[in-house]
Amino acid sequence: MAARLRVCVVGSGGREHALAAALQRTADVVVCPGNPGMQALGIACVSRPPETIEADLFVVGPEQPLVDGIGDRLRDAGNLVFGPGAAGARLEGSKAWMKEMLAGADVPTAAYGVFDSAGPAIEFLRSLSPPWVVKTDGLAAGKGVLVTEDLDEACADVEAKLAGVSFGAAGRLVVIEEGLTGPELSLMAVCDGKRAVPLAAAQDFKRALDGDKGPNTGGMGAYSPVPAVDDDDVAAIMNGAVTPTLEALADIGIDYRGVLYAGLMLTPEGPKVLEFNVRFGDPETEALMPRWKGDVSEILAAAADGRLDSVAAPEFLPDAAVCVMLAAEGYPAAPKTGQPIYGLDSWKADPSLHLYAAGVGPGLTTAGGRVLAVTGLGETIGRARERAYEGAGRISFSGVQYRSDIAARAAG
């Protein structure tokens, strides 16, 4: 039997916890830096720079270090890395560049314009019909997008973003898009530079409040599989969006090894790409990982090594998974931190219920906007939902907020 791989997962949130838990089935895993909640739940965490850690494989979780070039630095030092270099990560780091790449690769996406001054931006907005969509060009933790039926609000948002008020330098360029409608879908693919293989489809919930109300967040929950999406739909998205994008990257010399995550809207004219992310989705990963069968480390290592053709494609349990995110009071605008969390230290592991620590600080207190993710598994989405909410009820902290309608519609 091959020796167990030593895997270092870079990051500190719920996504990294879920990745580590799945990788740990077949590999020796450390998370760098992780957080005290993960540690309490049985994941080894080390707070040294990743460059100082010896591992057979590095898996980078968040977008910011990828955009900043951690993939290049680790690879240049001779490591095997699952995660693109800075050139590929620009797909997420600049929405304007991403739109240009999609247009060049003939990938269906919303019509758009890119602006660095308010006058022409507002003129373009006025030429479109509602809903109006204003995006910050750079990284904004999922919060740089405004979708509104109110033209005045859209114009004010353009001014605020371009003035650097809302997102600093990341907002000095805005992308304005045609408003699309339809259900949303997240499809992540594992890429080895030349080939891409899909993971199970998932759906996330970006708005803070029930009924898709309130501000956009990093994600308040997710579920998988998505009943409205079958294997043919997944194949069509791979052929129409993911593979052409990977090829377009390769054409300009980018050897993209990592996750290509397509955020799509299933419009009446077919699926259109809203965004590409260059890493695993959060909280889609918290829903997906417990469903992923077999050796996750083997597949990620093969992708990082450019030889996905040497391993079997990812396979998923037939069970449904529903993830509910427990957020801090005041999230997303001004999360209140430092609250003691009850129920985490007495959490009992269970194959149908998983707890992932996202924003947990020393002494098991709240330390971020999204604090914990609870994922339930079940034979149906309804059963998985019940499990997840039952689990959510076992955790408490002052001001805890979570949506009560995650996957409710899909459960029927």
Query: What is the C-alpha to C-alpha distance for residues 151 and 154, in angstroms, rounded to an integer?
Result: 5
Q: Which is nearer to ligand AMP, 73 or 207 (CB)?
A: 207
- Which residues, listed in sequence order, are joined to residue 320 by a DSSP beta bridge? 378
Interface contacts to ligand AMP, rule CB under 6 A? 110, 131, 133, 135, 145, 147, 177-180, 184, 206, 216, 263, 274-275
- Which residues, listed in sequence order, are joined to residue 104 by a DSSP beta bridge? none
How many C-beta atoms surround the C-beta of residue 94 within 10 A?
20
> Which among 3-11, 152-160, 276-284, 345-353 is the span making contact with ligand GLY, rule CB under 6 A?
276-284
Query: What is the C-alpha to C-alpha distance for residues 62 and 17, in angstroms, rounded to an integer?
Result: 12
Instruction: Name residue, tokens 């998974």.
Output: 321
For residue 282, state whether it binds ligand GLY (rule: CB under 6 A). yes
- Cβ(314)–Cβ(299) under 8 Å? yes
Residue 403 contacts which entry, ligand AMP, ligand GLY, none (Cβ below 5-8 A, type-dependent)? none
- Cβ(357)–Cβ(35) under 8 Å? yes
- Cβ(19)–Cβ(289) under 8 Å? yes
> Which among 127-135, 281-289, 324-332, 372-380 is the span making contact with ligand GLY, rule CB under 6 A?
281-289
Encoded tokens for 297: 């480390």
- Which residues, listed in sequence order, are joined to residue 134 by a DSSP beta bridge? 146, 176
> Which among 175-183, 274-282, 297-305, 330-338 is the span making contact with ligand GLY, rule CB under 6 A?
274-282
Q: What's the min distance (Å) between Cβ of 139 and ligand GLY?
A: 10
Q: Which is nearer to ligand AMP, 82 or 205 (CB)?
A: 205
Encoded tokens for 340: 């003691």
Q: What's the min distance (Å) between Cβ of 206 and ligand AMP?
A: 5
- Of positions 33, 36, 69, 142, contacts ligand GLY by CB under 6 A: 142
Number of residues near ligand GLY (by CB under 6 A)? 7
Q: What's the min distance (Å) between Cβ of 411 and ligand GLY?
A: 20
Q: Which is nearer to ligand GLY, 157 or 284 (CB)?
A: 284
Pairing of the two strands 132-136 and 81-82: unpaired
Q: Which residues bind ligand GLY (CB under 6 A)?
A: 142, 204, 219, 277, 281-282, 284
